[in-house]
Amino acid sequence: MAKPLHEPGVVVDDYRLEELAHSGGMATLWRVSRPGVTMPLLMKVPRIGEGADPAAIVSFEMEQMILPRLTGVHVPKFVAAGDFAAQPYIVMEAIPGQTLLPRLPELPLPDAEVAKIGAKIAMALDDLHRQHVVHLDIKPSNIMFRPTGEAVLLDYGLSHHFRLPDLMQEEFRLPFGTAPYMSPEQLRGIRNDPRSDLFALGVLLYFFSTGVRPFGESETLRGMRRRLWRDPVPPRGLRGDYPPWLQEIVLRCLEIEPAWRYPTAAQLAFDLSHPTQVKLTKRSEQLKHDPLTTVLRRRFNQEATRPRTKQALAAQLSSAPIIAVAIDLAEGSAALNDALRTTAGRILATLPAARLACLNVLKQGRLTIDFTLDEQGHNRQIDRLVGLRHWAEPLKLQEPRLTVHVLEAVDPAAAILEFAQANRIDHILIGARQSSLMRTLLGSVSAKVAAEALCTVTVVRPNLTAEKEKPSSADDSGLSSTG
């Protein structure tokens, strides 16, 4: 029968307890070693003594089921697990460094740093959601960063896996989570909406940029339920110099109804990474709570407290992709650009939550000096930004769905692929020009992007569309452009 582990030197299944790393209310963490293993290891052991919380045991079972199924840099690497019949434990890689928790005394952090931290966490959430998991306990103590910079999400005891039984929901009726970060729908008992994680990230962004929690410190269920109808004070009501673009992002994450938040973590990460491209609405100007009439409507609207129909995670993610289209603004490309616009319009018509990123590469010389102005004295980058918006006008997209980007690079294809990987592009539209001797000898941008991009790539020619598809990747995406 399992017994509590509480002394260094104890050996369990060849793992030797070295030192206690953390003692929490539901589990303890030990640094452990094993002969022949050089990677630093951490063993998580549930509290199973007299008076142990049954929820702690069930959540540990959930983590034992979920963690072995996760891969990638945004989760701790799973090593081994022990059965409850003998000794329950989970052994995983020990990630160097600290969580975000020790940074709380430094709050508020600079806006740019908050956006950078938030973008990395959103990338990690996008990776997790693509692996069919909603975390449901995003908070500073569950977030670390690798030496290489990627955010790592910890503790999957409260998570929901779309392909596994949800023991927490089956065995308990009260909502579980960390009170200041719980979304309104979690309070309704809904555990299968990935936008709950975006709400929690919005709380973190608000807290880290203002030093104040948006919903206070209330731990009572009654106090927490106020967020079903009451919005927080806008950050600009606390800080007069709070940037409108950041308030736009934060308040969109904190919308009471999930449908009004970002549809995917990838779209949230995109905005946090491109603050100058954030489209401002009335959210960005707010200084006070929503009016009392709005609050009362929410308060007495029974529909707002009714559980939603379960939506498959894959369907939700696929309904809101980020689509990139590469526009060649050189002379003689009108027919090709028309074909690209027609193809983009057809795709966007079927995906009302999709976003379009229009891209152009300003090619730089390897040995020559590049000038900002062209022969007519016009700023080349500004001219291309204007050209991209002009190309997109006939699509009549609402502002939040459209962004334009001009990259400067010696190698257009390499720059495009790097941009794509950083921004989780789901689908690329790229034009292919007529064949030429130079393209035959050196290869084309479209060919390289189509060959190396890890997402769907559609190569477009005037009057001819040939599509090459690859499976999407949680870690890499492709984007295409011609320069």
Helix H or strand E encompassing 63: helix 54-66
**What percentage of the chain reaches a pLDDT higher than 90?**
58
Residue 307 has pLDDT above 60, yes or no: no
Model pLDDT, residue 294? 82
Distance of CA 7 to the CA centre of its chain: 39
Residue corresponding to tokens 């904190």:
254
Chain mean pLDDT for the chain:
86
Is the pLDDT higher at 230 or at 143?
Answer: 143
Write down the pLDDT at residue 195. Answer: 96
80-93 tens-digit pLDDT = 999 888 889 999 99
Dmax (CA) of the chain: 83
Contact 424, 270 (CB under 8 A): yes
**Phi, psi for residue 342 in degrees, rounded to 5:** -65, -45
Cite the beta strand spans of 52-94 per DSSP E: 78-82, 89-93
- Cα separation of 93 and 266, whole Å? 26
- Rg of the Cα atoms in the chain: 25
Is the separation of the CB atoms in 201 and 115 below 8 Å? Answer: no
Domain assignment present for 345: yes
pLDDT at 50: 58
Average pLDDT over residues 401-410: 90
Identify the residue with better confidence: 269 or 465.
269
pLDDT band for position 472 (cuts 50, 70, 90): very low
Residue 227: partners with Cβ closer than 8 Å, 6 or more residues away:
184, 187, 215, 256
Residue 388 scores a pLDDT above 50: yes
Residue 311 clears pLDDT 80, i.e. is over it: no
Of 182-186, 363-367, 448-452, 454-458, give the lowest mean pLDDT range. 363-367
Most confident of 102-111, 416-425, 442-451: 102-111
Write phi, then psi, for 479 (nearest 5 degrees): -140, 145
Q: Which single residue is written with the structure tokens 């998580």?
A: 44
pLDDT-wise least confident of 130-134, 261-265, 420-424: 420-424
Stated pTM of the model? 0.87
Cα torsion for 196, 201, 202, 204, to the nearest 10°?
Answer: 140
Q: Mean pLDDT throughout 293-318?
A: 68
**Of 43, 75, 93, which one is at a domain's C-terminal end?**
93
Q: In whole angstroms, what is the distance from residue 457 CA to residue 469 CA?
A: 6
Query: Where residue 133 sits, what CATH number does that domain have?
Result: 1.10.510.10
Residues 124 and 88 in one domain: no
Domain count, the chain: 3
Instruction: Establish if 6 belongs to a structural domain.
Output: no
pLDDT at 479 over 90: no
> Greater confidence, 245 or 476?
245
Model confidence at 99: pLDDT above 80: yes
Domain match, 116 and 28 both = no
Does residue 284 sit in the same domain as residue 342? no
Task: Please say if the pLDDT value at position 465 is more than 50.
Answer: no
Phi, psi of 302 (to 5 degrees): -65, -30
* pLDDT tens column, 193-240: 999 999 999 999 999 999 999 998 766 777 788 888 889 999 999 999
Least confident of 85-94, 122-131, 143-152: 85-94
Q: Is the pLDDT of residue 172 over 60?
A: yes
Asked if residue 187 and residue 120 are part of one domain, the reply reads yes
How far is 135 from 181, CA to CA, in rounded Å?
Answer: 12
Residue with tokens 């931290």: 117
Q: Give pLDDT, residue 118.
A: 98
**Domain contains 483:** no
Q: What's the confidence (pLDDT) of residue 373?
A: 57
Q: Are residues 43 and 131 in the same domain?
A: no
Return the pLDDT at 25: 76
pLDDT in tens, 148-169: 999 999 999 999 999 999 888 8
Distance CA 466, CA 447 (A): 12
* Owning domain of residue 228: 101-307
Alpha-helical segments (H) within 1-97: 54-66
- CATH code, 322: 3.40.50.620
Beta bridge partners of 163: none
The pLDDT value given to residue 464: 47
Mean pLDDT of 125-138: 97
Distance CA 348, CA 370 (A): 36
pLDDT of residue 466: 45
What pLDDT is attached to residue 152? 98
pLDDT higher than 80, residue 102: yes
18 and 137 in a single domain? The answer is: no
Query: Tokens at residue 261, please?
Result: 């938040």
**Are 53 and 84 members of one domain?**
yes
Please say if the pLDDT value at position 374 is more than 60: no
For the chain, what percent of residues have pLDDT higher than 70? 85
Write out the two tokens for 82: 């022990």
Q: In angstroms, rounded to a whole number, what is the distance separating the alpha carbons of residues 346 and 329?
A: 22
Structure tokens at 256: 């009471």
Number of H-type helices and E-type strands within the chain: 15, 16
Residue that terminates a domain, selected from 307, 340, 369: 307
Looking at the fold, whether 233 and 323 belong to one and the same domain comes out as no
CATH number of the domain where residue 78 is located: 3.30.200.20
pLDDT of residue 51: 58
Q: Which of 44, 77, 93 is the last residue of a domain?
A: 93
